[in-house]
Amino acid sequence: MIDTATIRIEKTAQSRINELDETNIPFGQLYSDHMFMADYVNGEWKDLRITPYQNISISPANTTLHYAITIFEGLKAYRNEAGEIIIFRPQANAQRLNISAERMCIPEVPEDLFMDALTELIKLDSSWVPSAPNTSLYIRPFVFGTDEYIGIRPSQNFRFMIITCPVGAYYSKPVNVKIETKFSRAFEGGTGFAKAGGNYAASLYPARLAQQQGFDQLIWTDGKTHEYVEESGTMNLVFIIDGKLMTAPTSGTILKGITRDSVLTIAKEWGIEVIEKPLAVKEIVEAAKAGRLQEAFGVGTAATIAPIGKIGFEDETFELPSPENWTISKRILDELNAIRTGKKEDTHGWTYKV
């Protein structure tokens, strides 16, 4: 049993809060004053501490540098109209972190450790939670192997950390995406369902090629046939076809998105027909050609809901109706924002008040 009451706190001598301009927050570039750390040694998590945000020292033989033994999560904290701080669905992130941990031979991070560390860190850096519209505090928990060992085996020692950064909108305009039919992100039996660092590293080169063609992101397809849509680089995908909300089911190759689950839950409660099934590329393309693809958007913590403006497939590009005229995704986004900022009652138990 971990005594999370023993979290040691070392406060920074000089806050950098004056660097925060809520009207102009670059995503993922300005970090809050403090960070949390704990070390896994001899089979247990020890030395729980919050320190000033700073660089860390690791061995050149660090196992993670060579073998990518690392997992992470992403969640957000918001400031409500009363000035209180609300974190959206942190327990779900704690659970998903441990699903990733099991796949990557990383020890479980107990939920009480995750939640207590998160709470104490956000309390200490509460001034970093912005209040301007469309802003939040992005929270990045992660775990990595710390063995000093060049050899392929599970690490025996680990570090669990949490860092935070104030953020504005991840995407400032609708994204243009390309359906990828050559490169693969994940295969059944692989690590596609885990938030493992190597998954994202492997996606960078195909994404760069797409960006050179004028696209912002890829729509990944199944690794075996490339006939079915899976997810995008940073988001799960949702399509509105003939008024029905359609998305691929989460699986061994698709991350079980927390925002995705929230979107589907709200849509079902409103009586919108929700269809979770393998989505054929052919079906999406035919719906786009016929004008039946009314909305397409990515859902994820960073972007929340990111409208898709154009979809590229082979030598064709399909332009979707202007997001200004969309109804379903905009309505769901407004609902999520209202719940996360306390403007509307949370009937799902999704919000956690710090």
Report the SS3 class of residue 99.
helix
Mean pLDDT of 100-126: 97
Residue 171 predicted with pLDDT over 90: no
Determine which helix (DSSP H) or strand (DSSP E) holds 208, and give its type and residue range.
helix 197-212
Cβ 167 vs Cβ 27: under 8 Å: yes
pLDDT in tens, 44-57: 999 999 999 999 99
CATH among 3.40.50.1370, 1.10.1060.10, 3.20.10.10, 3.30.1370.10 for 175-340: 3.20.10.10
Determine which helix (DSSP H) or strand (DSSP E) holds 314, and give its type and residue range.
none
251, HSE (Cβ side, Cα atoms, 13 Å): 19
Average pLDDT of the chain to the nearest whole number: 94
Of residues 45, 51, 59, the one with CA closest to residue 108: 45
Cβ 296 vs Cβ 269: under 8 Å: no
Of residues 242, 241, 202, 194, the one with CA closest to residue 220: 202
pLDDT in the model for residue 1: 55
Of residues 120, 80, 129, the one with CA closest to residue 337: 80
Q: What are phi and psi of 47, to 5 degrees?
A: 55, 60
* Cβ density class 297-321: b for 16+ within 10 Å, e for less: bbbbbbbbbbbbbbbbbeeeebebe
Of residues 34, 32, 33, 30, the one with CA closest to residue 8: 34
293, amino acid identity: L
* Angle subtended at Cα 17 by Cα 12 and Cα 23, rounded to the nearest 5 degrees: 160
Report the SS3 class of residue 179.
strand
The pTM (predicted TM-score) of the whole model is: 0.95
Axis crossing angle, helix 90-103 with helix 258-269, rounded to the nearest 10: 130
Confidence of residue 68 (pLDDT cuts 50, 70, 90): very high
Report the SS3 class of residue 207.
helix
For the chain, what is the radius of gyration of the CA atoms? Answer: 21
H-type helices in 72-110, by residue range?
Answer: 90-103
pLDDT in the model for residue 325: 84
Determine which helix (DSSP H) or strand (DSSP E) holds 254, and give its type and residue range.
none
Cβ 203 vs Cβ 196: under 8 Å: no
Alpha-carbon distance of 37 to 116, in angstroms, equals: 12
Q: Please tell me the least confidently modeled range out of 2-16, 27-41, 146-160.
A: 2-16
Share of the chain above pLDDT 90, in %: 90
**What does the block give as tokens for 143?**
């775990």
Look-up: residue for tokens 């919050």? Answer: 50
Domain 4-168 in CATH 3.30.470.10? The answer is yes
**DSSP per residue, 65-87:** HHH--EEE--EEEEE-TTS-EEE
Residue 4 predicted with pLDDT over 70: no
Mean pLDDT of 273-279: 96
Parse the chain into domains and list their residue ranges: 4-168, 175-340
17, amino acid identity: I
Mean pLDDT of 65-75: 97
121, amino acid identity: L
Helix then strand then coil, % of the chain, to nearest 5: 25, 30, 40
Alpha-carbon distance of 72 to 140, in angstroms, equals: 7
